[in-house]
Amino acid sequence: MTAADREARLVRTFATLADTLVDAYDVVELLQTLVDTCVDVLDISAAGLMLADTDGALDVIASTSEASRLIEVLQLDAEAGPCLACFTTGEPVSCADIADVPAAWAAFRTGAVAHGFRSVHAVPLRLRATVIGTLNLFGAEPGELSAANLTVARALADVATIGILHERNVTDPDTVTTQLRATIDSRAVIEQAKGVVSFTRRIGIDEAFGIIRHHAAATGAHLSDVARAIVERRLRL
C-alpha cells in the first residue's frame, strides 16, 4: 500500500467512525472496519477487538482472522494475557516478543505461537477513566510497533470509543444493555454463518467470512443480517 493509499484509507475510516456521532450504525460492522483498517495500514498481520458489557465482562466483537479470534477467546477463557491486562489497567500493553511474556500468560504464549503470532500490542478503548474494551494488534514477527503506527492505532481506538460512548450516553441504561446483548448475539450469529459457509463450500473459515462480507457489501445489507439469513437457511452463498 502506497503512502497515498494509506492516507486515503485512514481518512475514509475516520469518516466512518465519526458518522457514529450523528447517525445510526451497526456496532459489529463499525468495529470490523476498524480492525480491517489496522491490518491494512499498521504493518501487522491480524487484529481483533474486545468490548465489555455493562458488567465489565469482555467479548470478542471483531477479528480479522480466525487465528486472532481464537487467541482472544483463549485469553478470556484463561482470564490472563496482554489484552486483558490492557483492559484492566486502561494502559497500552506491548509484547515485542511473545516468547518473553510472564509465566502467568503461558497459555496465551503457547496458543499465540502455535497460530503464528510473535508479537502483540493492545490499545485500550478508553475515554478518561472509562475503559470499554481493547484493540489488539498481532504481528507475525517479533518487534515493537512504530511510534507512528501506535499513534494511529490510538487515534482509531479513541474515535471508536467516543462514538460508542456517545451512543450509550444518549440512550437509557436498559436500552444500552439490550444493544450490547444484541451486538454480542450478532457476533455469535456471524460465527455460525462462517461455519455454515465453510462447511457447505469446503473452504477455510477466513475465506468463508470473506464471502459473507463481500455479499453484504455488494447488496448493502448489514453483515449481521446476512449472517442470520445464512444460519436460518434463507440465503445460500
- The per-residue pLDDT for range 132-159, each reduced to its tens digit, is 899 999 999 999 998 888 888 898 888 8
pLDDT digits (tens, 9 = 90+) for 53-71: 777 788 888 899 989 999 9
Q: What CA–CA distance (Å, rounded) separates 193 from 229?
A: 9
| 95, containing H or E segment | strand 93-95
Nearest to 38 by CA among 29, 46, 30: 46
To the nearest whole number, what is the mean pLDDT of the chain? Answer: 83
pLDDT digits (tens, 9 = 90+) for 80-126: 999 999 999 999 999 999 999 999 999 999 999 999 999 999 999 98
Number of H helices, E strands in the chain: 9, 5
The confidence score (pLDDT) of residue 170 equals 47
Cell of 183: 451486538
Which amino acid makes up residue 218?
Answer: A
- The full set of domains in the chain, from first to last, is 3-170 (3.30.450.40), 171-237 (1.10.10.10)
